[in-house]
A and B are shown apart, each in its own frame.
Chain A
Amino acid sequence: MLIESLRLENFRNYVQEEIRLEPGINILFGENGQGKTNFLEALYFLLTGKSYRVQREQELTHWGENGFRLQGLFQVKQRIIQLESRYYERRKILKINNMPCRKLSDYVGTVNAVYFSPDDLILVKGGPGERRKFLDFHIAQTKPGYVSLLNSYNKVLEQKRALLKSNLSLQSKRSQLAVWNEELIELGRKLIKHRMNLTEELQTVSSYFYQHISEGKEKMEIHYRPLGLKDYEEAISSFPNLLIEHTEQEIERQAVLIGPHRDDLVIYLNQKPARLYASQGQVRSLVLSLKLGEVQLIQAKKEEYPLLLLDDVLSELDRFRRKYLLEFIYSSSIQTLITMTSAEEMPEGKINRYYVKQGQIRREF
């Protein structure tokens, strides 16, 4: 997949900008706070209809304006695709080749990207929510129905929470809980299945990358823990019973205690939980392996490499990891956008350079 050009209108600190990008490595450099991250965020929003940084589109709108528009030209399997995301009067309009999409799931995943920034280091040391989000974002890009499955599941959760918090009698709470639980199980099982499938695939590719990055010295493994259990079949079959067993507790604590919204993806390093024991360097290698795993999985599914967006990542990696990453990018000819603050760190080889200053971008030859 390739991006040929991107046009931004009133997005973050960009008022009006349009640039052409090239295959291979594109470097965006400039001082702090000039709009490098904003540019990658714009591209990511254009592909997914969402920002990974904020929930509310208003924050993405250039101060004082009432909406933004992003347009991009892409190449997927030799075909030109135009994407447009527009936010205006609190509404989002998403178009593929000028045709409006009714559902987010019709739009997401047309063009894929993997985004990697130092914030992702939290994947290893942070809470389970970060890791679930990582899995969900990836599945949403590759499985068209996943966004609505996830939305439905979350809606059921919200309704069940509201029921638990209501001041209805115990009896009517119980009789209504039964039906929300039934939906929770049906949708939850599908969610678990998707996440476990992805984990298995990711396990194979990411552990391969990790082994190479650690020069064969260390071993990485990842395991999804459905409902806190080890085994898929067990989780699927015991889901209803777990809910029944926890009903009293759920009513008492007014919280939904059982379900994949509490699951974790456990990362192991040499058989020990990485969250507890991994060093800073190991954390970097683990996250890099997960991200490269994502890249490889998208390639396997879509038969083309996704765009790779590396925000401030190169300066975070030591020489060896950096070299490994760049070699992977070059050898697979992945179109990559890299941000950095100083021009000195630029990798060797054929690169295209863009200077970013105050929401304006200038190509440097």
Chain B
Amino acid sequence: MDLLNYPQPLADLISSLARLPGIGPKTAGRLAFYLLQEPETAEALAQSVLKAKEKIKSCSICSNFTDQDPCAFCRSERRDRKLLCIVEHPRDVAALEKTGEFKGLYHVLQGVLSPLEGIGPEQLTVQQLLQRLEGVEEVIMAMNPTVEGEATAMYLARLLKPLGVKVTRIAHGLPVGGDLEYADEVTIARALEGRRNL
């Protein structure tokens, strides 16, 4: 798509949209034209993007996205505080919640170990994790089954086990290299059931 053929503001909109994950130049163009033809949708979208950006913060305990600190999970009386599930990103919390199988608390790492990208334990929420282990009996590693996810799970297991916590890894009915986010609910539920000791 040749952006020079469009007026500047339209070209800017298209290239902003094209920067979003999963959206190529063609789709970006379609979305931009749609938004211009539907002014109300465009207005509402713009508002909610700004509002979400302003209101959503990271929970100071678990690092999940929230509009109140601590987040609803961390405040809840109904969640099982003996179980802690570690995930890479906030979107993985949503994927696990959809299964309705898990009743414990979450901890969002904000990524995985990746020396190539300069990401070590300090760049992740490992310190926060170590500070919230009181009363936790089992920590479940639910990182994606990539080599980086595995390395991170092993790293944390080595850190946590000496502290007397049981560490398990969700069984991968998930395809290797696959993302939690894209797995269906049944697959995730089964993976949770069949977790193994690390």
Contacts and interface: CB of A to CB of B under 8 A. Distances in A.
Interface of A: 89, 103, 148, 152, 155-156, 158-160, 162-163, 166, 168, 172, 175-176, 178-180, 182-183, 187
Given A179-B151, A183-B147, A159 B158 contact: no
Contact of B158 (A103, A155, A168, A179): A179
Contacts of A155: 146-148
Nearest to A156: B147
Interface string B21-38: 000100000000000000
A155 B148 CA distance: 9
Given A156-B147, A180-B151, A148 B120 contact: no
20 contacts: A89-B24, A103-B177, A152-B147, A155-B146, A155-B148, A158-B116, A159-B113, A159-B114, A159-B115, A159-B116, A162-B115, A163-B115, A166-B118, A176-B113, A176-B121, A179-B154, A179-B155, A182-B154, A183-B147, A183-B154
A82 B114 CA distance: 40
Contact of A176 (B120, B150, B176, B177): B120
A179 B24 CA distance: 36
Contacts of A89: 24
A162 B150 CA distance: 17
Interface string B147-172: 11011101100100000000000000
A162 B177 CA distance: 20
A310 to B, nearest CB: 36
Contacts of A148: 176-177
A18 B104 CA distance: 61
B120 A179 contact: no
B187 to A, nearest CB: 15
A178 B155 CA distance: 8
Contacts of B151: 156, 159, 179-180, 182-183
Interface in B106-130: 113-116, 118, 120-121
A160 B113 CA distance: 11
A222 B150 CA distance: 35
Contact of B120 (A103, A152, A172, A182): A172
Nearest to A157: B147
A211 B155 CA distance: 52
Contacts of A152: 147, 176-177
A320 to B, nearest CB: 48
Nearest to A168: B120
Nearest to A159: B115
Contacts of B116: 158-159, 162
B120 A159 contact: no
A159 B154 contact: no
A158 B120 CA distance: 15
B196 to A, nearest CB: 14
Contacts of B113: 159, 176, 179
Nearest to B26: A89
A29 B158 CA distance: 63
Contacts of B120: 168, 172, 176
B42 to A, nearest CB: 28
Given A152-B147, A155-B146, 18 more contacts: A103-B177, A152-B176, A156-B147, A156-B151, A158-B116, A159-B114, A159-B115, A159-B116, A160-B115, A176-B121, A176-B155, A179-B113, A179-B151, A179-B152, A179-B155, A180-B151, A183-B147, A187-B147
A137 to B, nearest CB: 21
Nearest to A182: B154
The 7 A-B residue pairs with the shortest CB-CB distance in the complex, in nearest-first order: A162-B115, A163-B115, A179-B154, A162-B116, A179-B151, A179-B155, A155-B147
Contacts of A183: 147, 150-151, 154
A179 B176 CA distance: 18
Contacts of A175: 155, 158
A158 B177 CA distance: 16
B156 to A, nearest CB: 9
Given A155-B147, A183-B150, A183-B154, A166 B176 contact: no
Contacts of A162: 115-116
Contacts of B118: 166
Nearest to A165: B115
Contact of B115 (A103, A176, A182): A176
Nearest to A180: B151
Nearest to A166: B115
Contacts of B155: 175-176, 179
Contacts of B146: 155
A168 B121 CA distance: 11
Contacts of B121: 172, 176
A158 B113 CA distance: 13
A24 B121 CA distance: 60
A102 B77 CA distance: 43
B152 to A, nearest CB: 8
